[in-house]
Chains A and B, each alone.
Chain A
Amino acid sequence: MESVILKTATRLMVGLILIFSFYLLLRGHHEPGGGFAAALVAGTAFALFVIAEGPAKVRTAIRLRPTTIAMLGLATAVAAGSAALLSGQSFLTGMWWGPGEELLIGTPLIFDIGVFLAVLGAILAVLLTLEDN
């Protein structure tokens, strides 16, 4: 679709939506949000991008192939789950590190990032292939 208005708006919107999606991903543990919802928001950003600029530009912009992103997501989730194995606990047990109760980094967050990447990769894969045709 050739539309100057859409293209200009897209340029502004995509970045904003992606930042919002990142915000959703990080706040998910305490407030509504999380990896799955964040991936869906990011998916809409890319859908906008695809409609305005076509699939070829999106492919160059994301550099990695969508299926690679999805596989990276699965690998991240598995790695996050395997961290517990190292300390002798069962697979996917949550592990936490940090100075205090209000600032903690834990494997569930990494797992959520894996979910985000896997779902986003899947959405991108289907979206781009549909638009290729």
Chain B
Amino acid sequence: MAKTAHGESGPGYSRLGLVSTLLPAALFFFFLSCWAAIQRGEVVGIDFPWMPSLDLALSFRLDGLSLLFALIVTGIGTFVSLYSSAYLAGHHHSGRFFFFLHAFMLSMLGLVTADNLLLLFLCWEGTTVFSYLLIGFDHESAVARENARQGLLVTSAGGLALLLGILLLKIAGASWTISDWLHGEQLLREHPLYPFIFAAILLGAMTKSAQFPFHFWLPNAMSAPTPISAFLHAATMVKAGIYLLMRCHPLLGGTFSWTFTLVAVGGVTALWGAVQALGPMDLKRVLAYTTMMALGILTMFLGGQSTETLTAAVTFLMVHALYKAALFLAIGSIDHQTGTRQLDRLGGLGRSMPLTALAVAAAVLSMSGFPLFFGFIGKEIMYAGALAEELFPGFTATVALFANALMTAVAAILFFGPFTGSWIHTNETTPMRVVDPPWQMWLGPLLLGGLGILFGIIPEWVSSALIEPAVFSIHPGREEIRLVIFHGFNLPLLLSMFTLTIGAVVYLRRLVICRTIQTGIASLPLSAEMCYAGSLTWFLRNAEVVTNRIQNGSLHWYLLVIVATMTVAVSWPWLGSLKSVLLRPAGAIDPTATALALFIAAAIGVVVTAGKRLAAIGGLSGVGAGIALLFLLYGAPDIALTQLLVETLTIIFVSLVLLRLPPIVQARKRSNRRRAFDGLLALAAGLLLTSLLLGVVQAPLDRGLTDFFEANSFLQAHGRNIVNVILVDFRSLDTMGEIIVVVLAAWAAVTLLRKPKGP
């Protein structure tokens, strides 16, 4: 048995993983069964109202683009889940893993099939959350936690921007129903809010799809288990941004700012990713940078308008998904079987892991765009699309040429590095027999790599069935798109040959070039990641300063702030009517009530001047009892009873706590001026409340509710005590909420009060 890279995973397979693979597989076949209908131009959809008042509907809709994405998500999801069942065999958290994996997949699936923009946003956030949990799956590693947090912060910041964009869309009068967009109003592009909408949505897409300068989280996200990386790079997460741009294309695309920004951002991302892919020794990191390059290319092509440019984007999306998933899974196998994925420690695996080698060979040939492979067609289409681009054909074609050439070199490194040459696994003391992984782990890469050949030889299968419907769900009008195995001798073919030549030269000179790139990157004064780290530190430091100032731990200060805020904020609008309230002639004075009021005032005097806590508590209970008597006097026995009981219990609780505190004298160190200020504030707050109550009493009393309850309490609810009938029958939902709050509060108090266990 081969040694495993992850100490916690063992031989065999996870039964849960194998069974749960049925979910993506079943979904895949469901979407496959919709294929024929979609190809005929029909649209499959379901629609449930959810919160109509918020324009939020559970509406899902399958058109060509959604179908393409759904097939990629569920198809690759099936292989990823199958692969993980062996990769994570025996892992003690495998249940959690498969839950996260499938939840992640379902979020992505919801995202690409949502017809309601708010629903799309919810799923968008779902992918953010689940990718966070998956990147940080190895939660005992500080690096994994840090990387997961980085991904979460960057992508959720973009999510907020997207939400802003969605809200602005509504303000600008656009529909939140995505299917309205294709043939909808074209006025949005002239709307004054257009630049803001475009910027906000673009920001969401750029962070999600790791576009420069938000690209840095993607290479770090490889601390996720390798099958997750495969899923995240090939089918989900980063493709969400691309999907969003594709969806928004008919609504927002076509302006100069759209084309210019997307071409510039995508071009820079593609080149920067391609250049960085040459440097690292870690195979997964190499792949991460090639994904960045691919995302850049996709963004750049989405800047265009013509059918050719969009066809190039959609085709390359498929090409990339197939080879990237195969490569990630295969590299995971190498890591799993040998215990390393460092280029300089691997070699000669071709003979001992033939099936993996075959899969990688097929994938890298597609990646570098060799004739007869799907990647070749993708590249031909790409050059044709670049040349058909309206505004910047030269720039687009040049970027595509260089990025593709570097990809060819990287593809060669990916294959020749681990699989040829001699075994150079230097750190291993005992030689070990490396074999292919179990079938769950080689089947996926091999099939995905094989599809790259199949679609390369018979591209007609996908061109009319998948790519054409996808392109025309975001592009008005419909014409036939035919991909063929060979497009004839033309400029794209020349560029293709040129690409392979440059790639070969770069591969042969890779040592010099890699060293130059490494030293070049190391000497850069500023990187996007440094900006991220700097701003994070700045935020944390300032948050600490602010928190320490506001929450300084002094109860006195908290009460002061609360009472002062209430007094100022309420008296500001109330001052105008204060005069009429206070100058109202007093009615007849009730001697009993006056006596009670005097008693309460005296009790308050005791509380304020008491030298001992027990005396203060006694004064407080006097206040409570006096108020209960007032209630009784004015004919509210229920409230009086409750008030008296609450008062009794409160006194018991307060005594239990307060009598353990240090003597009151120590707390009296506050200066007289401070005490005078506190007293004045208390008086002001009391006066304010008194005047408010007087004002309330002056308004005519609406007896509608009282009459209703008096009339119906006994007839409908069989009770004569109206207060209780209201509590347990008429408004019992309120009571339900209140007892839940009471129980939760008690629970929280118990948790805070409980003695910590252990030392």
Which residues of A pack against B, CB within 8 Å?
28-37, 40-41, 43-44, 47, 51, 66-67, 70-71, 73-74, 77-78, 81, 91-92, 94, 96, 101, 104, 106, 108-109, 111-112, 114-115, 118-119, 121-123, 125-127, 129-133
Contacts and interface: CB of A to CB of B under 8 A. Distances in A.
A118 B652 contact: no
A47 B653 CA distance: 9
A34 B727 contact: yes
Interface string B700-739: 0000000000000000011111011101110011011001
A51 B659 CA distance: 14
Contact of A119 (B657, B721, B733, B739): B739
B733 A92 contact: yes
B649 A118 contact: no
Given A106-B718, A111-B732, A29 B638 contact: no
B649 A123 contact: yes
Closest 9 CB pairs of A and B: A122-B746, A40-B645, A29-B719, A118-B739, A30-B720, A108-B728, A34-B724, A70-B743, A32-B637
Given A28-B724, A33-B724, A94-B717, A132 B743 contact: no
B736 A81 contact: yes
B527 interface: no
A115 B743 contact: no
Given A37-B638, A125-B747, 12 more contacts: A28-B724, A31-B721, A32-B637, A32-B641, A33-B724, A34-B724, A40-B649, A70-B747, A91-B733, A129-B750, A130-B656, A133-B753
B745 interface: yes
Contacts of B652: 44, 47, 51, 127
A94 B721 contact: no
A18 to B, nearest CB: 14
A71 B727 contact: no
Contacts of B735: 77, 111, 115
Contacts, number: 145
Contact of B717 (A32, A81, A108, A131): A108
Contact of B641 (A37, A104, A133): A37
Nearest to A127: B653
B719 to A, nearest CB: 4
9 contacts: A40-B645, A44-B648, A67-B747, A70-B746, A77-B735, A118-B743, A126-B750, A130-B653, A132-B754
Interface string B629-672: 00000000110011001101100110011000000000000000
A32 B721 CA distance: 7
A73 B721 contact: no
Given A36-B642, A122-B742, A104 B750 contact: no
Contact of A33 (B653, B721, B755): B721
B37 interface: no
